[in-house]
């Protein structure tokens, strides 16, 4: 389950809407958390900041 949450955050970072937001306003931060049914606590898995370097095949170049 943790790996799925982490993968989805990486997938979000590859989208044009997130990359444009990072370019224009330096946000949002992307977080992956997993809820632990045993203790009821959210377990943080990963945070991706707006300065994250997206790999070339997934990087959008916006001309503004």
pLDDT tens track, the chain, 64 positions: 899 999 999 999 999 999 999 999 999 999 999 999 999 999 999 999 999 999 999 999 988 6
Report which of 33, 26, 35, 30 is spatially closest to residue 11, judged by C-alpha positions. 30
Rounded Cα–Cα distance for residues 61 and 47 (Å): 23
pLDDT of residue 46: 98
CA nearest to 32, candidates 18, 12, 52, 58: 12
pTM: 0.86
Return the pLDDT at 1. 81
């Amino acid at each position: 389950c943790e790996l799925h949450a982490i993968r989805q955050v990486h997938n979000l970072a590859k989208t044009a809407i997130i990359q444009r937001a990072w370019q224009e306003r330096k946000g949002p931060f992307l977080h992956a958390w997993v809820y632990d049914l045993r203790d009821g606590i959210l377990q943080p898995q990963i945070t991706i900041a707006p300065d994250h370097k997206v790999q070339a095949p997934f990087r959008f170049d916006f001309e503004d």
